[in-house]
Structure 1
Amino acid sequence: MISITHTLSIPENEITFLTSRSSGPGGQHVNKTSSKVTLVFNVQDSPSLSDYQKTLIMSRLSGRINTKGELQLSCEEHRSQFRNKEEVVSRFTKMLAEALKPVRKRRKTKVPYSAKRKRLDNKKKRSEVKKGRSKPSY
């Protein structure tokens, strides 16, 4: 079980891990080991998510979800497959937790008097500087 929030856990059988060879430099090690790990999670078909959670995730992570409704994350930072798998799982939990956070409504506040005063003083100073640049009128 992968714990996302204190109320939501996703069983590991809903997640698929794919391995492949990493890109970039690394010599013989990269060329012969499949250390890159890709996590695939189908958001639409997940029984552990409610409909509301699915719509939240689909809307907030729409750029990362493909047309099949799958969220794909990959990691190839480390040399070992095990560490890449741990890294991709931690990214997955953080990403889902962020997507499921409720959006707090903004409370309207007044601009403080000191901020208004400061802005007007700066405008006056700027005005004086510009007046000082003009030709004097005799």
Structure 2
Amino acid sequence: MILVTDTIALDESEIEETFIRGSGPGGQNVNKVATAVQLRFDARRSRSLPDPVAIRLMKIAGSRLTNDGIIVITAQRFRTQERNREDALQRLVEMIRQATEVPKPRRKTKPTLASKQRRLESKSKRSDIKKGRGAKPSFE
């Protein structure tokens, strides 16, 4: 079990890791050894995550989310497989922690009278500047 928060723990069987050749540092070794890690986590079908957290997690994942609801994280920052595994897992845990925070609902507000006046003043100043750019009258 991977502890994410006090209430959420991920089952290790829900995380799938595949090793691929990385493109980062490593010299000639990079062509021979599969040190990069591709971590896959099915956020849509995970039993460890409550539904609201899973929905927020899928929004946070953005382009890392596939059409099937699987989050794919590729880690190739380090030269060793083990450090890349830790990096990918840490990034997933951080995304889940971010998804556990409930966003504060937005309250509608109206602009103040002073801000309306400032906006209109700046518009009229800009208008005057543009009027001054016109062709100058000729006195012939």
Name the SS of the counterpart of 1:71 in structure 2: strand
Listed as ranges, the gaps of 5+ residues in structure 2 are none
Contact conserved, 2:65 with 2:72, CA < 8 A, in 1?
Answer: yes
Give me the whole-angstrom Cα distance separating, in 1, the residues matched to 2:128 and 2:61: 51
Scaled by the length of structure 1, what TM-score is found?
0.75
Of 9-18 and 48-57, deviating more is 48-57
Contact conserved, 1:65 with 1:72, CA < 8 A, in 2?
Answer: yes
Give me the whole-angstrom Cα distance separating, in 1, the residues matched to 2:14 and 2:128: 68
Give me the whole-angstrom Cα distance separating, in 2, the residues matched to 1:125 and 1:58: 46
Contact conserved, 1:39 with 1:73, CA < 8 A, in 2?
Answer: yes
Q: 1:114 to 1:51 in 2, by over 3 A?
A: closer
The match for 1:23 is 23
* Equivalent position amino acid for 1:118 in 2: R
Listed as ranges, the gaps of 5+ residues in structure 1 are none
Using the TM superposition, give the Cα deviation of residue 69 of structure 1 relative to its aligned residue in structure 2, in angstroms: 4.1
Scaled by the length of structure 2, what TM-score is found?
0.74
Contact conserved, 1:78 with 1:84, CA < 8 A, in 2?
Answer: yes
Q: Are residues 1:3 and 2:10 paired?
A: no
Q: Percent identity?
A: 39
> What root-mean-square deviation, in Å, do the aligned CA atoms of Structure 1 and Structure 2 show?
2.9
The match for 1:72 is 72
Contact conserved, 2:24 with 2:76, CA < 8 A, in 1?
Answer: no
Where in structure 2 are the equivalents of 1:1-138 lying within 5 Å?
1-23=1-23, 26-58=26-58, 61=61, 63-134=63-134
Number of corresponding residues? 137
